[in-house]
Amino acid sequence: MNEKQLIKNLLDFIDHSPSPYHAVKNLENQLVENNFTKLDEKQHWVLNRGGRYYVIRDGSSIIFFVAGERQLSDSGYKIFGAHTDSPGLKIKPNPVINSEGLLRLGVEIYGGPILATFTDRDLSLAGRFSYKTSEQQVDSQLVQFEQPLLRLPNLAIHMNRTVNEEGLKLHKQNELALIISTAIESQLSQQYLTQLLEQTSNIKADDILSWELNVYDTQKGSFWGDKEQFYTDSQLDNLASCHIGAQALLNHSTLKSGNTTLCAFFDHEEIGSESTKGANGSFLPDILERIALALELKKEDYQRALANSFMISADMAHAYQPNFPTAYEPEHKVMVNKGPVIKTNANHRYSSECISEAMFINWCKQTNTPYQKYSHRTDIPCGSTIGPMTSAKLGIRSIDVGNPMWAMHSIRESAGVKDHLYMFNVINHFFSSD
Ligand code: ZN
CATH number at residue 287: 3.40.630.10
- CA–CA gap between residue 150 and residue 80 (Å, rounded): 36
- Return the closest-CA partner of residue 349 out of 306, 313, 320, 321: 313
Residue 407 alpha carbon to ligand 1 centre in Å: 12
Q: Residue 103 falls within a domain, yes or no?
A: yes
Run of H or E residues at 250: helix 236-252
Alpha carbon distance 50, 63 (integer Å)? 16
Where residue 112 sits, what CATH number does that domain have? 2.30.250.10
Q: How far is the CA of 89 from the centre of ligand 1 (A)?
A: 16
Q: Are residues 129 and 48 in the same domain?
A: no
- CA dist., res. 289 & res. 72, Å (int): 12
Which structural domain, as residue segments, surrounds residue 405? 3-86+234-432
For residue 268, being part of any structural domain is answered with yes
Q: Both 52 and 169 in a single domain?
A: no
| 103 and 69 housed in the same domain | no
Single-letter amino acid code for the residue at 343: K
**Which uninterrupted H or E stretch holds 105?**
strand 102-110
| 84 alpha carbon – ligand 1 mean position (Å) | 9
The answer to whether position 226 is within a domain reads no
Is the same domain home to 263 and 388? Answer: yes
Note the pLDDT tens digit of each residue in 148-170: 999 999 999 999 999 999 999 99
- Give domain status of residue 222, yes or no: no
Q: What is the pTM of this model?
A: 0.97
- Average pLDDT per 10 consecutive residues for the chain, totaling 434 residues: 95 98 98 97 96 97 96 96 98 93 96 98 98 96 97 97 97 98 82 93 95 98 98 98 97 83 97 95 97 97 97 98 96 97 94 97 98 94 90 95 98 98 97 90
Rg of the chain over Cα atoms, rounded to whole angstroms, equals 23
258: left (phi over 0), alpha (psi -120 to 50) or beta: left
Per-residue model confidence (pLDDT) at position 383: 85
Same domain assignment for residues 210 and 71:
no
Asked if 111 and 63 sit in the same domain, the reply is: no
Instruction: Check residue 175 and report its DSSP letter.
Output: S
Instruction: Tell whether 229 is covered by a domain.
Output: no
77 C-alpha to ligand 1 centroid (Å): 23
Query: Do 78 and 144 sit in the same domain of this protein?
Result: no
Query: 421 and 296, same structural domain?
Result: yes
The C-alpha atoms of residue 175 and residue 185 are separated, in whole angstroms, by: 23
Residue 243 CA, ligand 1 centroid: distance in Å: 13
Cα(161) to ligand 1 centroid in Å equals: 34
CA of 270 to the centre of ligand 1 (A): 7
Q: Enumerate residues 6+ apart whose C-beta is below 8 A from 111.
A: 85, 86, 87, 88, 270, 271, 409
CB 336 within 8 A of CB 321: no
The answer to whether residue 120 sits within a structural domain is yes
- Does the residue 341 lie in any domain? yes
DSSP H helices, 273-353, are 283-294, 299-307
What pLDDT score was predicted for residue 382? Answer: 86
Alpha-carbon gap, residue 203 to 336, rounded angstroms: 46
Question: How far apart are alpha carbons 256 and 429 in whole angstroms?
Answer: 13
Say what the pLDDT of residue 287 is: 98
Q: Are 93 and 67 in contact (CB under 8 A)?
A: no
Secondary structure letter of residue 111 according to DSSP: S
Report whether 42 contacts 348 (CB < 8 A): no
pLDDT of res. 304: 98
| Helix ranges (DSSP H) in 44-191 | 72-75, 163-166
C-alpha 385 – ligand 1 centre gap (Å): 7
Residue 416 Ramachandran class (φ > 0 left, ψ -120 to 50 alpha, else beta): beta
What angle, rounded to 10 degrees, do the helices at 417-432 and 3-15 form?
90
Q: Do 76 and 95 belong together in one domain?
A: no
CA-to-CA distance for 209 and 350, rounded, in angstroms? 40
pLDDT given for residue 269 in this prediction = 96
Q: Are residues 48 and 161 in the same domain?
A: no
Of 169, 190, 217, which marks where a domain is finished? 217
Counting the structural domains of the chain, the total is 2
Q: Are residues 82 and 97 in the same domain?
A: no
Collapsing DSSP to helix, strand or coil, 138 comes out as strand
Residues 134 and 277 in one domain: no
* 224 falls within a domain: no
Distance 386 CA to ligand 1 centre (A): 9
